Structure 1
Amino acid sequence: MECTELGVEEDPTIYTESECQELLWRIHHGNRLTGGLKFVTKCYGIVGFLKFLGPYYMVVITRRKVGTICGHEIYSIGKSEMITIPSVIVWPNVAYSRDENRYKRLLCSVDLSKDFFFSYSYNIMRSLQKNVTEKNTGQVVYETMFVWNEFLTRAIRNHLKNTSWTVALVHGFFKQYCLFIIEDHK
């Protein structure tokens, strides 16, 4: 997949909440003749971009906090959603073909809400010992061996030169309990 086919760009400006609302209002107002902006979904991370035979799709997720490691929150996936990215160069008969729909159903059969975990600030791809002894160097490296969606995010990460928009999903098991030790003074 080539990111340039998607036209992915990142605005380097950091907006305040009011500036963001103003920008969205201007975009909506400027496009009101074609329907303006429409709310699609609320999400907390991009799992990746993919293409079968027709248009590109963006897979996004919501989250559920499942624990904390060294003050860093760990999340599982609440739900996932596949959003079609419209394209004028995709033929409608391909975008809605039997094969395209079959591939979409196959992808949707993967239940991302079961046993997939991520963190925005803690590298769950590494052991606790490595995370404690080696300081964070900035950008998270998506290790091919451990990150389930490494390939799905590769093009956007390489194009934007960061991992700000994507989450590294690790498939596995996470359970956290709070323990109290009571000393018996006899």
Structure 2
Amino acid sequence: MMLITKRKKIGAICGHTIYAISKSETIPILKSPIQSNMAYSKNEKRYKKLLSTVDLTKDFFFSYTYNVMHSLQRNLCRNETGLVHYESMFVWNEFLTLGIRNTLKNSLWTVALVYGFFKQVKLSISGENIFQTLIARRSRHYAGTRYLKRGVNEKGRVANDVETEQIVFEDVLEGCPTQISSVVQNRGSIPLFWSQETSRLNLKPDIILSKKDPDYEATRLHFENLVMRYGNPIIILNLIKRCEKNLVKLFFVQSLRKPSDLSIKAYPKITV
């Protein structure tokens, strides 16, 4: 069992404290119903070693009272409680806590961990004190390192999907009404089947386009998921370099050429 033994406050949203992990500990469960030979198996030792390499004190955050895995708008508009929050693509310990949550039929003994970035600062503008909060939530689906994870998978999940939210609100006494603003944007790999072969001798490996999905069903699944999460219209900002024009053409022309219920607008790369 992995326990968070020490925490530190890194911010607050609407009176709800957000914490980071300062220290964690792995504790063996004695008299476990799991077979003893499994506990000492080769695979189990390998999984323990991999888990021990994860530094929970970096980039993980949580809250006991605020659903930090969701945007402010979703928290205000939907009255969701309990186990529903663990279905979020941004809860990284969803699988590890699945057994105990299913057994107890609640989440009282677990804490949902979000992986990404959280920073809150206090600013003074025109004599008014405000708090600016920046949250980046990284998806646990199809995550990986640069070059090793690219494009989309069969379920419409794109590589390195990150939701970024900026929350701004006034610094007022607790219980007093306040104005609050939230802006959310999403970034991820281009939702096509493509890859790049890594090489120490080639710092910019060529892009390999696959013909695996000629009907672009995975691309459609990706945008349907975006509509379900954020609603229409979906606005695409092209950040691809001009030298990668073949990938641009495939994405903005072929993958969106069929009739659809989705409202999609594409914009070229913006240079500042």
Q: TM-score, normalised by structure 2?
A: 0.42
Deviation (angstroms), 1:74: 0.5
Give the 3 Å change call, closer, same or farther, for CA 98–158 of structure 1 in structure 2: closer
SS at 2:73's partner residue?
helix
Q: How does 1:62-101 map to 2 (within 5 A)?
A: 62-87=6-31, 89-91=35-37, 95-96=39-40, 100-101=44-45
CA distance, structure 2, for counterparts of residue 99 and residue 140 of structure 1: 29
Does residue 138 of the first structure (1) align with residue 84 of the second (2)?
Answer: no
Q: How does 1:38-53 map to 2 (within 5 A)?
A: none
Deviation (angstroms), 1:87: 3.2
Equivalent in the alignment of 1:123: 67
Q: How does 1:138-157 map to 2 (within 5 A)?
A: 138-141=81-84, 142-157=86-101
SS at 1:175's partner residue?
strand
Query: Any conservation in 2 of the 1:118–1:169 contact (CA below 8 Å)?
Result: yes
Which one scores higher on RCO, CA 8 angstroms, separation ≥ 6? 1
CA distance, structure 1, for counterparts of residue 101 and residue 40 of structure 2: 29
Does residue 173 of the first structure (1) align with residue 139 of the second (2)?
Answer: no
Deviation (angstroms), 1:133: 2.8
* Deviations, residues 128-151 of structure 1 (Å, cap 9, x unaligned): 1111233x3432521241110000
Aligned length: 124
* Matched residue type, 1:109: T
Equivalent in the alignment of 2:222: none
Stretches of structure 2 lacking an aligned partner (at least 5 in a row): 129-272
Query: Any conservation in 1 of the 2:92–2:113 contact (CA below 8 Å)?
Result: yes
Equivalent in the alignment of 1:6: none
Q: 2:2 aligns with which of 59, 62, 65?
A: 59
Larger radius of gyration: 2
Query: Any conservation in 1 of the 2:93–2:113 contact (CA below 8 Å)?
Result: yes
* Deviations, residues 55-78 of structure 1 (Å, cap 9, x unaligned): xxx111132111001110001111
Give the 3 Å change call, closer, same or farther, for CA 153–98 of structure 1 in structure 2: closer
Stretches of structure 1 lacking an aligned partner (at least 5 in a row): 1-57
CA distance, structure 2, for counterparts of residue 68 and residue 169 of structure 1: 16
SS at 2:64's partner residue?
coil
CA distance, structure 2, for counterparts of residue 74 and residue 156 of structure 1: 24
* Deviations, residues 38-66 of structure 1 (Å, cap 9, x unaligned): xxxxxxxxxxxxxxxxxxxx111132111
CA distance, structure 1, for counterparts of residue 113 and residue 31 of structure 2: 28
Equivalent in the alignment of 1:162: 106
CA distance, structure 2, for counterparts of residue 183 and residue 177 of structure 1: 16
* Matched residue type, 1:86: L
CA distance, structure 2, for counterparts of residue 75 and residue 172 of structure 1: 13
Query: Any conservation in 2 of the 1:125–1:143 contact (CA below 8 Å)?
Result: no
SS at 2:100's partner residue?
helix
CA distance, structure 2, for counterparts of residue 119 and residue 131 of structure 1: 13
Query: Any conservation in 2 of the 1:123–1:140 contact (CA below 8 Å)?
Result: no
Work out the percentage of aligned pairs sharing the same amino acid. 60
RMSD between aligned residues? 2.3
Give the 3 Å change call, closer, same or farther, for CA 129–97 of structure 1 in structure 2: closer
Deviation (angstroms), 1:97: 6.0
Q: TM-score, normalised by structure 1?
A: 0.59
